[in-house]
Amino acid sequence: MIIDSMTGKMPTPTDGKAKSLANLRKGGGRPVGVPNKINGDIKAMILGALNEADPAGGQGYLKKQALANPVAFMGLVGKVIPSEVKADVKGAMTINFITDFPE
């Protein structure tokens, strides 16, 4: 139990000593910067299963899924590609707009 040395009382969230009960506990949890082992283990299992899912390995399986389930595959691609690209482009750029689509 934590006792304030000035008042002899336990700090409360309203007296400015502690903003939450989590601040009153000491020593629990893993240190800052240490990765979560369970997340790494699960990631390793998923990647292992992906590599074993197809004789061609994970890339072969993903290629089959891209053809069989393009919507789900494009969702995966959207999560992998950065949402913002910063680049310095020097030179000319041509943009072609297609307005007439064949039926």
Would you list the domain boundaries of the chain? 37-79
Q: For position 68, what pLDDT does the model report?
A: 95
What does pLDDT average to in each consecutive run of 10 residues of the chain (103 residues)?
Answer: 66 56 64 81 90 90 93 91 79 82 73
Q: For position 35, what pLDDT does the model report?
A: 77
DSSP 23-92: GG--S-SPPTTPPPHHHHHHHHHHHHHHHHSSTT-HHHHHHHHHHH-HHHHHHHHHHHS-S-------S-
Q: For position 48, what pLDDT does the model report?
A: 92
